[in-house]
Amino acid sequence: MRDLLCGISPALEKAFDYARSRGAIILLTHYQTPAALRRTGLKRLATWLQRRKVRNAQRLAEKAVEAAEQQHTALPGEARAAVLLGELAHQLLALDERIAANDKEIRDLFRTDERAEIIESPPGMGPILGAEFVAIAGDLSSYRDAGRLAAHAGLAPVPRDSGRRTGNLHRPKRYDRRLRWVFYLSAQSAMMYPGPSRDFYLRKRAEGLRHVQAVLALARRRVDVLWAMLRDRRPYVLALPSAPASG
């Protein structure tokens, strides 16, 4: 889609981050060329976007018209490319709606599990990651302890002993990459906000670990926390700092 748009209007292609701006995609369902944007004008364009519940409609319209003013030449094949571009924009919006509907169905189904409230309680572990965790780990009966769960996720070393050597620990060759991704994403999300997870991450960075290494260390720690929560059937509670004693 961006390749087509660049062939019509390079300035408009650069004006928005189409991977993040749903409003820009909505714009392209009806307005694909600089000439169309100039004919519509700022006021009418902003109104059109507002009626479609686009966030920051006025600012988006201003950027679109500003990009259109940078080009007053129609490029070869512009009309056909504009039609294709509009069709692609419609398809992307439809796909976005389908993904949202699927996510809602996953959330609703996940929350029928009696463990959902516990799994979802720590920062960074939302219903989508929680559902994937349940789908992979099941009822945890196949894991003797948190270390086994961590090893399955590739987050804990396992012994690779021989007849002469013991205590030879290595990252497992076989592990579930989806489970590792669940814990990695949840750790990455949790460390973005103030709290124990961010403190732990910053401490590991101060010890010399690179970003990915520090996130993986935090992911390993969160395996232990989640395991204990599920074992004790207790949701995560962030301990507030105690007030200093008076007097």
The 10s digit of each residue's pLDDT in 76-121 is 788 899 999 999 999 999 999 999 999 999 999 999 999 999 999 9
- Cα distance between residue 148 and residue 181, in whole Å: 16
Q: Is residue 246 part of a domain?
A: no
Distances (CA, A) of 142 to 145, 148, 160, 224: 9, 9, 21, 16
pLDDT for res 247: 44
My answer on whether 153 and 225 are in the same domain is: yes
pLDDT for res 169: 46
My answer on whether 67 and 140 are in the same domain is: no
pLDDT bin (cut points 50, 70, 90) of residue 27 is very high
My answer on whether 178 and 150 are in the same domain is: yes
Percent of the chain with pLDDT over 90: 71
In this structure, the strands spanning 158-159 and 169-170 are: antiparallel
Among candidate residues 59, 74, 108, the one where a domain is terminated: 108
Distances (CA, A) of 43 to 47, 48, 60, 86: 6, 9, 12, 22
My answer on whether 23 and 77 are in the same domain is: yes
pLDDT digits (tens, 9 = 90+) for 155-210: 986 555 444 544 444 566 788 999 999 999 999 999 998 999 999 999 999 999 99
- Cα distance between residue 62 and residue 67, in whole Å: 9
- Domain of 75 in residue numbering reads as 2-108
pLDDT for res 170: 57
My answer on whether 41 and 137 are in the same domain is: no
CA angle, 9 then 11 then 16, to 5°: 110
Amino acid letter for position 158: V
My answer on whether 179 and 103 are in the same domain is: no
Q: Number of structural domains, the chain?
A: 2
pLDDT for res 161: 47
